[in-house]
Amino acid sequence: MTDILQELERRREAARMGGGQKRIDSQHAKGKLTARERIELLLDEGSFEEFDTFMTHRSTDFGMEKTRPAGDGVVTGWGTINGRQVYVYSQDFTVLGGSVSASHAAKIIKIMEMAMQNGAPIIGMNDSGGARIQEGVDALGGYGEIFQRNIMASGVVPQISLIMGPCAGGAVYSPAMTDFIFMVKDSSYMFVTGPDVVKTVTNEVVTAEELGGATTHTRKSSVADAAFENDVEAIAETRRLFDYLPLNNRAKPPVRPFFDEVGRVEASLDTLIPDNPNQPYDMKELILKIADEGDFYELQEEFARNILTGFIRLEGQTVGVVANQPMVLAGVLDIDSSRKAARFVRFCDCFDIPILTLVDVPGFMPGTSQEYGGVIKHGAKLLFAYGEATVPKVTLITRKAYGGAYDVMASKHLKADVNYAWPTAEIAVMGAKGASEIIHRADRDDPEKLAAHTKDYEDRFANPFVAAERGFIDEVILPRSTRVRLCRAFAGLRGKQAQMPWKKHDNIPL
């Protein structure tokens, strides 16, 4: 028996060593942790239950029969994060470059299916040279099977991808179908074709970092939701994100203990809105002042900064926040901000996370680049996402709510449940000056008359009361008591039941 146990321990130790000390050292030299070190940091201490430690590939081509490392380049299993279950896989770059064989894929597929059956999220840590070149179509088939599981799991359990090394070729499409992608600065990249192929096909000379590094994907392409300095920070932030999310689409998000007074009055909010309507202010200040313990988990911070998206807690409960940011492009809606917010709204809706919308929007961005880029279609995404969302929706207009953007930003007409406005709200088809120039065209060149018309328009519409008289605004609230009003609004909606008409699925303008 002792021999048998020793043999088990010897095999386990060999599996734990992955591709050997030399390759582990080289991984560390690149500033990267190993697959197992990452799992250890991600999960609660001692909670990891590993599967398929001894699984190997079955390939015999190109001398592969001589190397059959246990685990085949990926560590899989489940564990807990702050006591809540999660399934994980972590690719081991020290074993054949973390490349994906049929067996490697089968291990990932196994935990994805278990995650769906058991209603727990999936976190994938990607560090791989892509499809195992020696396996050909078996490896491609493996990827295809993973993609199909990503699709099946979408909207059933949250899926989070961490990119912690290379992620190239079709391999990028599994993370792309998950809910959130985090990257590590300077050590991870994602692209469909690498710099060499780009040079051959298009003659462009570009580095891997420029083509698909963390900066590119958080600022330009919006493929990644955030980027962090190193593996440790990326993993710590993943644990923090996980705490906001429900385990699956039938579970409520976790309620955390909170130490902040619900009735906390913030007198400074009474003066947040500047006297001059064209002067910006920082919408983040409002978010931080209403959130439990001033904690805001922002996503896509570097992309389309004219809209803010992320999670806060109110009375310990997760709330998804979408907010126009007057500091950037006056908070206008455009192609990028509409896409960013629409995807976030849809995530919240699939996982039963209530949505708070903070509105200060001068309208949609005009211009040929927007029209040629399809702002009609992309703006419609946000409109559609809000209109189809059946989770509790609470909206607060702080200042401008002009034109179509008024409708889009979770207005009463899109079935928002509670619509508040500050006394500083202006709900109109457009700004007073522009409106007067159009309806009093004849007086356009007479500054005095135009000023009088502008004042008249302002007096009539630059307030929340016309909308409140019609019931489009449920209540005009004091800025200082915003936190308690929002907490009460969401508390009143905890039993909300709403259904859309039966359909196979909708046809959101993609």
Q: Which residues are catalytic?
A: 169-170, 404-405
| Dist. CA 142–CA 206, nearest whole Å | 30
Q: How far is the CB of 139 from ligand HXC (least distance, A)?
A: 7
Sign of CA dihedral 151, 166, 336, 413: positive
Q: Residue 148 is encoded by which pair of tokens?
A: 């199909």
Shorter beta-carbon distance to ligand HXC: residue 143 or 182: 143
Here the tokens at position 192 are 């469909």
- Least separation in angstroms between residue 67's CB and ligand HXC is 8
Give 248-270 as a DSSP string. Answer: STTSPPPPPP--S-TT---GGGG
d(CA 166, CA 506): 35
Positions that interact with ligand HXC (CB under 6 A): 96-97, 99, 129-133, 140, 143, 166, 168-171
What's the closest the beta carbon of residue 192 comes to ligand HXC, in angstroms? 9
What's the DSSP call for residue 331? Answer: G
Please report which residue ranges of 32-136 form alpha helices under DSSP H: 35-42, 102-118
Structure tokens at 12: 């386990």
Nearest CB to ligand HXC, comparing residues 133 and 500: 133
Amino acid at 354: P
Q: How many residues does the chain have?
A: 510
Q: Residue 140 or 466: which CB sits closer to ligand HXC?
A: 140
User: Nearest distance from residue 201's CB to ligand HXC, in Å?
Assistant: 15
What distance in Å separates the CA atoms of residue 169 and residue 425, rounded to the nearest whole number? 49
Q: Which is nearer to ligand HXC, 143 or 386 (CB)?
A: 143
DSSP secondary structure of 380-412: HHHHHHHHH--S-EEEEEEEEEEHHHHHHTT-G
Q: How far is the CB of 347 from ligand HXC (least distance, A)?
A: 25
All residues at 6 or more sequence positions from 382 whose CB lies less than 8 Å from its CB, including other chains: 333, 338, 339, 341, 342, 345, 408
- Find the angle CA(197)-CA(211)-CA(129) to the nearest 5 degrees: 65
Give 273's DSSP letter.
S
**Is the Cβ of residue 71 or residue 169 nearer to ligand HXC in the bound state?**
169
Q: Which is nearer to ligand HXC, 67 or 118 (CB)?
A: 67
How far apart are CB 155 and ligand HXC at their closest, in Å? 22
